[in-house]
């Protein structure tokens, strides 16, 4: 059985249980496996969509996948049932009640050690004041505004124009 089939089977299990206990017909949500980082799953009730992190298959096993899918289905069902309320807390009383209805413990977080999403490297660009020669590190966004839009940044102290110093460029991982 492939991963999509496993997730669909779990979704069907939880929707069937909810439909039977609540006397309603909840539609099957769309499924996406485009979720990265430390989050195991996310529910988007307006799009009726569940996103699953594929890493949980490798790290957590099928029971962890089942719990994650049930957790996200509970979010969707909670919003469908309690839509009349203005603000539903993501893991509040309504969600906990729905989790218990689905036969799951209303636990908020997983305890798997999922890999972090790819870290972005932020480039800093060094500029020097033409008046007092004070140095400034500008972000890539500000540097591009200078290069492509002709934006001019000025020194905070003397008000003179800042000039790019290309031989000094710093990288910071964030």
Query: Under a CB-based contact definition with an 8 Å cutoff, are residues 164 and 146 in contact?
Result: yes
Query: Under a CB-based contact definition with an 8 Å cutoff, are residues 144 and 157 in contact?
Result: no
Q: DSSP assignment, residue 90?
A: T
Active-site annotation holder among 13, 72, 167, 170: 72
Residues 76, 59: Cα–Cα separation, whole Å = 25
Query: Under a CB-based contact definition with an 8 Å cutoff, are residues 88 and 79 in contact?
Result: yes
HSE at residue 84, side-chain half, CA atoms within 13 A, is 1
Give yes or no: 72 in active site. yes
> Encoding tokens for residue 168?
């000094």
Active site residues: 72
């Amino acid at each position: 059985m492939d991963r999509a089939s496993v997730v669909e089977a779990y979704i069907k299990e939880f929707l069937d249980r909810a439909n039977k206990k609540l006397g309603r017909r909840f539609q099957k949500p769309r499924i996406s496996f485009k979720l990265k980082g430390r989050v195991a799953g996310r529910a988007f009730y307006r799009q009726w969509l569940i996103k699953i992190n594929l890493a949980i298959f490798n790290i957590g096993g099928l029971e962890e996948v089942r719990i994650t899918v049930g957790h996200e289905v509970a979010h969707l069902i909670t919003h469908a049932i309690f839509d009349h309320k203005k603000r539903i807390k993501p893991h509040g009383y309504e969600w906990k009640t729905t989790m218990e209805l689905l036969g799951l413990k209303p636990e908020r977080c997983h305890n798997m050690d999922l890999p972090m999403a790819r870290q972005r490297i932020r480039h800093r660009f060094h500029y020097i004041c033409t008046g007092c020669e004070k140095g400034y590190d500008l972000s890539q966004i500000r540097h591009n505004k200078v290069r492509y839009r002709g934006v001019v940044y000025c020194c905070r102290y003397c008000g003179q124009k800042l000039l790019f110093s290309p031989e000094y460029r710093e990288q910071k991982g964030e």
